[in-house]
Every structure is written in C-alpha cells, then in structure tokens.
Structure 1
Amino acid sequence: MELWKMSQKVSELSDVIPYYFFSLVFSCLSISTMLVIFSFGTWGVLGIIVFSFYVVIPYLLFAVPVQVLFNKHPKKFSLIYFGFYIFFSLLAVFIYSAVLNFDFSMDVLTTKNYYAISLSAALFFWFWDSVFLQKKSPVS
C-alpha cells in the first residue's frame, strides 16, 4: 500500500475516533444512570461513576467492534443494527455476569434483570451510535 493511501486512511479514522468516544461515554453514562435509578437511587452520582467503569469493558469488547463494522455502511436508527446490538448485548451480559459471579450456569438466563440490562444496554448504545456516527444515510 502506498504511503499516501495509508495516511489518508489514518486521517479518515482520526476524524471519526472522537465520535466513537462520545458514543461510548454517553452509552456508559446512560446505562449507569438507569442502573442507579432502578437500584432505588441508593448509589447516587458515585454509583453512576462506578457502574460506568464496569460497563465500559463489555461495550469496548462487544459493541465497539460491531459499531466499527456498521459504520462502513451507516444507517441511522436501523432496526437491523439494533437487532445485532441486542444479540451481542445478551452475549456480553451473560459472559460478564458469569465472570463477575464465578457462575457459568445458565441460571442467569431466567432472570428479568438479565434481559432488562441487556435490552437497555443495546438500546442506549444503538441510540448514541445513531446520533453520533450513523450520519450518512436517512432514517431506515
């Protein structure tokens, strides 16, 4: 690959990185705020900060790679993208809860909290992804 082509690709990527960051930060803050509210607000602002550090890891490992792939063919508020985010969110929450609880049984799949957190995490990430990154095409 020629040097000028590579520098052009790096330049294009560096223009988009802040939007990935904003999408990630707002997604983490949104899901953390929801978790604090539904835990009856006992944690307050400290809880939002703490939960944000916990949720950034699954978002980075599962959602951001999918987001990068989707940004090659941007579609604002695409229901297909939302479906993929739900799938990866279900997978991420299952793995993350299994690792944090040292319990690799399938019992987590029977709880309402598992589905509520998974769907909320997917919804928030899909929303902020559509707001910040998926700009090139109209609403689908």
Structure 2
Amino acid sequence: MGIGKLSEKVSELSDVIPYYFFCLFFSCISFSVAIILFSGEISWLRPLPVIIYSFYVVIPYLLFAVPLQITCNKRPRKFNVFYLLIYTVLSFIAVILFNGILFEREPTYLVKTQLYYGLSFAAAAIYWFWDSVFLQKKIS
C-alpha cells in the first residue's frame, strides 16, 4: 500500500470519526432514558441518573455495536431493516452477557422476563436509528 492510498484512508476515517461519536453519544443518552422509562421510576428522569446509566450503556455499545456499525457502513443504507435485525440479534447477546456480568444473574432467569426482550430490542432500535441518521448514506 502506497503512502497516497494510506493517507486517503486516514483522511476518510478522520472525516467519519465525529459521526461515530455523535451516534454513540445520542444512543447512550436515548437508551438511558429508555431504561429509566422501562424501570417505571419516572422520578429518576433527571440529568444525573441519565448520565450514570449512559456510562454503563457505553461499554456494551463500544464492544458490540460500534464494530458492527463499522462493518455495516461498508455498504451504507439508511433505515435498512436487515441492519436492524443484525443489531437486534447482537443486542440480545450483549444484554444477556452484560447483565450476567454486572448483576450476576443466571441467563435462564433473564430470558424469561419481558424486560430482557424490551431492553434488547430498544437498545438495537435506538442504535440503529442514530446510526441511520448520522452515518448511513442513501443508495445512489
């Protein structure tokens, strides 16, 4: 790989990095609000709890969603339902692993609850939405 091609790739990547950050930031804030709403503790809908939940949410998003997002962005499509399906499958795995590690619950207990499915789909749909808004381009 020549220096010219390498500098092109670096400049393309540096142009897109802020959009990945915006997508991650808005996804974390939105999902934190969704967690608070799912929990039924509307009194927690204040800035400090949203920020605290956002710090917990950013880890699974960074580990699971961002690498998938980078892969999906090679063939960008706005609001593609197939991408939502992929995000949802990965979200089921991420929520069960993160919940098992953080709260030390058995996966069989968690899978039986509606909260698991609601949070998993909400995490996927929220990230998919912000990904489509900030990064996915229209097909020409």
Give yes or no for contact 2:96–2:107 (8 Å, CA) kept in 1: no
1-structure distance, mates of 2:105, 2:14: 40
Give yes or no for contact 2:76–2:137 (8 Å, CA) kept in 1: yes
Q: Does residue 39 of structure 2 align to residue 36 of structure 1? A: no
Structure 1: segments with no counterpart, 5+ residues: none
2-structure distance, mates of 1:112, 1:41: 19
The SS at the match of 1:42 is helix
TM-score, normalization: structure 2?
0.94
2-structure distance, mates of 1:4, 1:105: 50
Quote the residue 2:80 is aligned against. Answer: 78
Quote the residue 2:18 is aligned against. Answer: 18
Aligned-pair distance for 1:40? 2.3
TM-score, normalization: structure 1?
0.94
Structure 2: segments with no counterpart, 5+ residues: none
Deviation per CA, 1:94-139, whole angstroms, max 9, x where unpaired? 000000122344211001111111000000000000000001427x
1-structure distance, mates of 2:29, 2:136: 20
Quote the residue 1:115 is aligned against. Answer: 117
- The within-5 A match list for 1:67-106 is 67-106=69-108
Aligned residues: 138
List structure 1 runs of 4+ shifted beyond 6 angstroms: none
